[in-house]
């Protein structure tokens, strides 16, 4: 009798990974984070969670999922971190920042400014917002509070550290690099670190947009929710957009990602420019009056 040949998949893959395992992972990440993984993400899931199997000493995904269910407090965070995507860069979608500056310039004499970046990732986006505000106010200590949140705690730690490779920052204009970053020396050669004043302008905190309660109050003058909605189904997208409205000033702006359109999701926002939205007339009745002074947003677990 000829020996049974191994399948191509079993020859390539280190761990046993079934369609049932994949469906269970899709269910868990959707329930916890609202992330809607497509069927095309199976190889990505295997690759990223395979690292967790090695770290936990487990030999197959079935055992890993059992371990996850019984030990959520310590492993769940790593599970979510593994399946979130942190593609970002300084001044990404650069057309948004002149719009932000013009918007804040028009209201900066009315109240202190509060901005929420809710997909902070490794920090490039909130630091870009901070640079924009410092340039607008011509000050390293402008009357601005930037709240930067993300579900991925590993990414937030890097963001809070504010240390990047020179390669990550090399596309920045030379004057910005010189004014807002410190170049590393010795064993830090090849790295840059954001200035203390820049770091002090941003408060980093873990936040899951799917949580029943958000540890922030607002009201905000601008919300950056860029390249986030693409990971959610339409019901989740609509739910999150509805929750933005009561924590926004009536004249606030919402910045979305380049491939995201909100007009088919909700009647609460109207297009103001390229992926920039203001509150619709209907939504303004639910938002914070634009004339009210804005207290600093409350974050119960800010670092």
Q: Are 121 and 86 in contact (CB under 8 A)?
A: yes
How many other C-beta atoms are found inside a 10 Å radius of the C-beta of residue 301?
Answer: 10
Distance, CA of 34 to CA of 141 (rounded, Å): 36
- Could you give phi then psi for residue 254, rounded to 5 degrees? -120, 130
198 in helix, strand or coil?
Answer: helix
First CA to last CA distance, the chain: 66
170 and 274 together in one domain: yes
CATH code where residue 78 lies: 1.10.155.10
48 is annotated as an active-site residue: yes
**Does residue 3 fall inside a structural domain?**
no
Judge if 45 and 135 occupy the same domain. Answer: no
What average pLDDT does the segment 123-140 reach?
96
pLDDT at 209 over 60: yes
Q: Is residue 146 within 8 Å of 129, Cβ to Cβ?
A: yes
Number of domains in the chain: 2
Same domain, 168 and 46: no
Domain assignment present for residue 295? The answer is: no
The overall average pLDDT reported for the chain is: 86
* Residue of 48, 110, 111, 179 with catalytic role: 48
| Residues above pLDDT 90, as percent of the chain | 48
Q: Is the pLDDT of residue 302 over 90?
A: no
Q: Are residues 123 and 39 in the same domain?
A: no
Identified catalytic residue from 150, 152, 221, 251: 150
Let me know whether 136 and 279 are in one domain.
yes
Answer whether residue 140 shows pLDDT above 80: yes
Region of poorest pLDDT, from 95-109, 114-128, 174-188, 286-300: 286-300
Residue with tokens 């119960």: 300
Q: Based on the domain organization, do 126 and 257 belong to the same domain? A: yes
CATH code of 259's domain: 3.40.50.150
Residues 45 and 123 in one domain: no
Residue 78 and residue 224 in one domain: no
| Residue 21 belongs to domain spanning | 9-83
Of 58, 83, 108, the last residue of a domain is: 83
Do both 233 and 277 map to the same domain?
yes
Same domain, 126 and 197: yes
* Cis peptide bond prior to 97, omega within 30° of 0: no
Residue 292 in this model has a pLDDT that exceeds 60:
no
* Pair (132, 230) in one structural domain: yes
pLDDT score, position 1 = 47
- Evaluate whether residue 33 is within a structural domain: yes
Its pTM stands at 0.81
The token pair at 37 is 């993984």
Q: What is the 3-state secondary structure (H, E, C) of 130-162?
A: HHHHHHHHCCCCCCEEEEEEECCHHHHHHHHHC
Please say which residue of 83, 111, 141 terminates a domain: 83
């Amino acid at each position: 009798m000829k020996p049974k040949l191994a399948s191509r998949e079993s020859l390539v893959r280190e761990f046993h990974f079934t369609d049932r395992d994949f469906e269970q992972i899709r269910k868990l990440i959707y329930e916890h984070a609202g992330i809607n993984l497509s069927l095309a993400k199976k190889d990505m899931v295997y690759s990223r969670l395979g690292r967790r199997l090695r770290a936990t000493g487990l030999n197959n995904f079935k055992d890993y999922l059992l371990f996850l269910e019984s030990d959520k407090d310590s492993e769940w965070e790593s599970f979510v971190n593994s399946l979130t995507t942190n593609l970002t860069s300084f001044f990404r979608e650069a057309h948004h920042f002149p719009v932000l500056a013009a918007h804040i310039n028009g209201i900066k004499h009315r109240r202190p400014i509060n901005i929420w970046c809710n997909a902070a990732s490794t920090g490039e986006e909130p630091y870009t917002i901070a640079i924009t505000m410092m340039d607008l106010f011509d000050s390293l200590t402008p009357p601005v509070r930037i709240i930067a949140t993300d579900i991925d705690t590993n990414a937030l730690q890097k963001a809070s550290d504010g240390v990047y490779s020179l390669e990550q920052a090399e596309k920045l204009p030379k004057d910005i690099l010189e004014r807002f970053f410190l170049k590393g020396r010795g064993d830090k050669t090849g790295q840059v670190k954001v200035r203390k004043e820049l770091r002090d302008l941003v408060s980093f905190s873990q936040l899951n947009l799917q949580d029943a309660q958000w540890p922030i109050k607002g009201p905000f003058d601008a919300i950056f929710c860029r390249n986030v909605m693409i990971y959610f189904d339409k019901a989740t997208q609509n739910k999150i957009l509805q929750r933005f409205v009561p924590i926004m000033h009536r004249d606030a702006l919402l910045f979305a990602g380049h491939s995201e359109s909100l007009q088919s999701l909700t009647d609460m926002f109207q297009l103001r420019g390229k992926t920039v939205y203001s509150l619709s007339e209907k939504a303004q009745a639910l938002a914070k009056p634009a004339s009210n002074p804005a207290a600093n947003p409350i974050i119960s677990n800010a670092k």
